[in-house]
Amino acid sequence: MALTQADGLPLPSTWRPLRLQTLVLLRWLAVGGQAIGVLFVAFGLGFPLPLLECFALIALSAAVNLWLVLRFGAAYRPSSAFAASQIAFDLCQLGGLLALTGGLQNPFSLLLLAPVSVSATTLPQRATFFIALLAALIASVLSVWHLPLPWDPLERIVFNRIYVIGIWVSIICGVVFISAYTNRVAHDARQIADALAATELALSRKEQLSALDGLAAAAAHELGTPLSTIALAAKEMRADAPPGSDLADDVELIIAQAARCRAILAKLRNLGNEGGDPFAAVPITDLLAEVARPHEAHGKAILFYYERAAGPPPVFTRNVGLLYGLGNLIENAADFARQTVRIEAGWDRDSISVTITDDGPGFAPELIARLGEPYLTSRPRDPQGPDASQPGGLGLGVFIAKTLLERAGARLAFHNIAPEGHAQVRIVWPRDRVEP
């Protein structure tokens, strides 16, 4: 599950799940190495050891590997708890082999650090702490209980107790160092990678939006003449239409919609101008009422709620990007709501938040993680038509709104707050990025 901040907005992930294929491959390498080592000691050197018990533990690892591949598939990405359980199994299996072959006196006891290293570089801190604690516990048990080290029966070998304690201390120090230092270094590397990915995404979005700015200006230029022609023809039809008739109502609707299209094209022409009027400061309560007013005609109730716990409402500088971004999100909520759209605003000393919630079917589960990407839409072409199940529009509205709001320092999160839907968009600005 993705980590979130206190305000409910997503944080970069602190670990990246391994593919099950990686864990399975590492275990096959361990199984092969253990089998070769046991066979070499037993038949190459001729030292006595519990061969049946050793191969039972090795066969257990191989059986678990086969079960994992058949049950989940090699491409499966396990959760952190699942991956930790597999690493813990490998650690216990290795501890069992060492207990049968001399404990800490076995030079291969150093391999107890390998599962800790894998955990420290790939798993969250809590899972790494658990693996490190398990490794320390196994090393402590092996220091006091184990079968004799396989050796030449004709030659007696004795290890000083202090030497064995020294091996135990070195393994414990290695476990602590790897689990702490390596995990911290890996965490910093993941943070740098997350920051780089976020930067590349922001640059990509900026480049896409810049291209859309030019496309919008060209579209505004090309559509201006046909819209003027439509408006002129509609006004001539209005003069000939009988007053009060259905035809007159339809003509009035065409004229109104043509005027709305001209207003939208005017916004698109000025989309790149973010300077705005330096004196156009407006409280957030008035700003939300302004951008929501054109959408109250949809027949849906738009309800406003304000938290006034931290003084007077914060003041925004009105600009086209802010108005378009908020207006688009409110328009989407009004389009998909069944009856009600709820707009909540709150503020404190550090941040300002706006939450837009509708009582509609909610975001599609397969799209919610990708909301804000361009060309992503579930809006039907014509709710009353035969192709209502087909997507309509370019899927750029949320992308443009999200990018414009993020230019002003906002962070957006998309949720469904109920099992039956009820989409919610939460927008949070740092207060020092907003107020003039």
Q: What is the pLDDT of residues 362-372, one digit of tens each?
A: 888 877 777 77
Confidence of residue 382 (pLDDT cuts 50, 70, 90): very low
CA 33, 36, 40, 43 torsion-angle sign: positive
Q: What is the mean pLDDT of residues 251-273?
A: 76
Return the C-alpha torsion angle 208, 213, 217, 220, nearest 10: 80
Q: What is the pLDDT of residues 125-172, one digit of tens each?
A: 888 899 999 999 999 999 889 898 888 888 878 888 888 899 999 999
Residue that has been written with the tokens 């299996």 in this structure: 93
- What is the distance between the alpha carbons of residues 270 and 106, in angstroms, rounded to a whole number? 75
395: left (phi over 0), alpha (psi -120 to 50) or beta: left
Q: What is the mean pLDDT of residues 233-256?
A: 83
User: CATH says 281-434 is which class?
Assistant: alpha beta
Task: Look at residue 38 in the predicted model and tell me its pLDDT.
Answer: 92
Half-sphere exposure of 262 (CA within 13 A, CB side): 14
- What is the distance between the alpha carbons of residues 123 and 81, in angstroms, rounded to a whole number? 9
Residue that has been written with the tokens 């030659």 in this structure: 155
Q: Cβ(402)–Cβ(322) under 8 Å? A: no
Structure tokens at 393: 């529009």
Task: Look at residue 130 in the predicted model and tell me its pLDDT.
Answer: 92
Count of helix runs (H) and strand runs (E) in the chain:
12, 7
- What is the distance between the alpha carbons of residues 416 and 361, in angstroms, rounded to a whole number? 9
Burial (CB count within 10 angstroms: exposed 0-12, middle 13-18, buried 19+), residue 40: exposed
| Spatial CA neighbour of 15 closest among 193, 179, 135 | 193
Task: Look at residue 17 in the predicted model and tell me its pLDDT.
Answer: 65
Task: Look at residue 404 in the predicted model and tell me its pLDDT.
Answer: 81
CA angle at 306 for the pair 300 and 312, rounded to the nearest 5°: 140
Mean model confidence pLDDT for the chain = 80
Return the top range by mean pLDDT from 81-85, 222-226, 429-433: 81-85
Q: What is the pLDDT of residues 266-303, one digit of tens each?
A: 766 665 554 445 556 888 888 888 888 888 766 788 88
Task: Look at residue 215 in the predicted model and tell me its pLDDT.
Answer: 67
Confidence of residue 10 (pLDDT cuts 50, 70, 90): very low
Q: Cβ(34)–Cβ(58) under 8 Å? A: yes
Structure tokens at 274: 């973010």
Share of the chain above pLDDT 70, in %: 79
375: left (phi over 0), alpha (psi -120 to 50) or beta: left
SS3 126: helix
Q: Are strands 351-358 and 315-317 parallel, antiparallel or unpaired?
A: unpaired
DSSP string across 12-72: --S--PPPHHHHHHHHHHHHHHHHHHHHIIIIIS-----HHHHHHHHHHHHHHHHHHHHHH
Q: Are strands 421-430 and 411-418 parallel, antiparallel or unpaired?
A: antiparallel
Whether the per-residue pLDDT at 343 is higher than 50: the answer is yes
Structure tokens at 91: 């650690």
Whether the per-residue pLDDT at 239 is higher than 60: the answer is yes
Q: What is the pLDDT of residues 169-221, one digit of tens each?
A: 999 999 999 888 887 887 777 766 666 666 566 656 666 666 666 666 676 66
Task: Look at residue 387 in the predicted model and tell me its pLDDT.
Answer: 47
Q: Cβ(68)–Cβ(115) under 8 Å? A: no
